[in-house]
């Protein structure tokens, strides 16, 4: 039976969070909300923004969404644009995260290889390439007072593991 609860952004988010921590851009101890024993990973889909702001007001976080691109002739190869919006009251923090993301995700098949290695040859995905489509410098975030937002768009190409009928595993 296919697992429809997985998404390629989950593997990329895990790798991104590891790199943010390894480069000491954010500190996981700043993301432990009252009443929680574990930290919250500050990479959230757009619909979780209010909850994140209520639990950890004033902290830097990333919002992601994705757009599936039309299938080409080789239907088993998928392509997506993942957009990350970095929200922070600190302009320098946004610039650091954007620069780090550009550094680790701009290298096409080398970036994909790094994610494949990190995720231990994902049970579901094999990434073929990742590139940066665009970055936008920090601007005032219209909905949150005092916050700014920078943006980075990545293009990913991947295949999902398939069964003998060409259906998701």
Give a yes or no: residue 134 inside a domain: yes
Give a yes or no: residue 29 inside a domain: yes
Q: What is the pLDDT of residue 144?
A: 53
CB-facing half-sphere around the CA of 76: CA atoms within 13 A? 13
Give a yes or no: residue 168 inside a domain: no
Question: Minimal CA–CA distance to 61: which of 80, 78, 46?
Answer: 46
Number of folded domains that form the chain: 1
**37 Rama class: left (phi>0) / alpha (psi -120 to 50) / beta:** alpha
Q: pTM of the entire structure?
A: 0.92
Give a yes or no: residue 1 inside a domain: no
Q: What is the pLDDT of residue 47?
A: 82
Give a yes or no: residue 68 inside a domain: yes
pLDDT tens string 138-149: 987 665 567 899
Domain of 37 in residue numbering reads as 8-160
pLDDT tens string 120-129: 767 899 999 9
Give a yes or no: residue 3 inside a domain: no
Q: What is the pLDDT of residue 143?
A: 58
Q: How many CB atoms lie within 10 A of CB 126?
A: 15
**Percent of the chain at pLDDT above 70?**
96
Q: Give me the chain's average pLDDT, please.
A: 92
148 CA to centre of own chain: 18
**CATH number of the structural domain spanning residue 83:** 3.30.2000
End-to-end, the C-alpha distance of the chain in Å comes to: 7
Give a yes or no: residue 87 inside a domain: yes
Give a yes or no: residue 150 inside a domain: yes
């Amino acid at each position: 039976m296919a697992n429809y609860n997985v998404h390629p952004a989950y593997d990329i988010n895990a790798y991104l969070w590891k790199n943010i921590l390894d480069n000491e851009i954010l500190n996981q101890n700043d993301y432990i909300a009252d009443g929680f024993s574990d930290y919250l990973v500050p990479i959230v889909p757009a619909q979780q923004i209010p909850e994140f702001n209520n639990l950890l007001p004033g902290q830097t976080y990333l919002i992601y969404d994705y757009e599936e691109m039309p299938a080409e002739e080789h239907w088993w190869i998928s392509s997506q644009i993942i957009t990350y919006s970095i929200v922070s009251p600190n302009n320098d923090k946004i610039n650091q995260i954007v620069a780090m993301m550009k550094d680790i995700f701009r290298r096409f098949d080398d970036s994909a290889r790094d994610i494949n290695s990190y995720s231990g040859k994902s049970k579901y995905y094999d990434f073929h390439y990742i590139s940066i489509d665009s970055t936008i410098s920090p601007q005032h975030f219209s909905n949150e007072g005092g916050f700014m937002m920078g943006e980075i768009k990545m293009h990913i190409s991947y295949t999902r593991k398939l069964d003998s009928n060409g259906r998701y595993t």
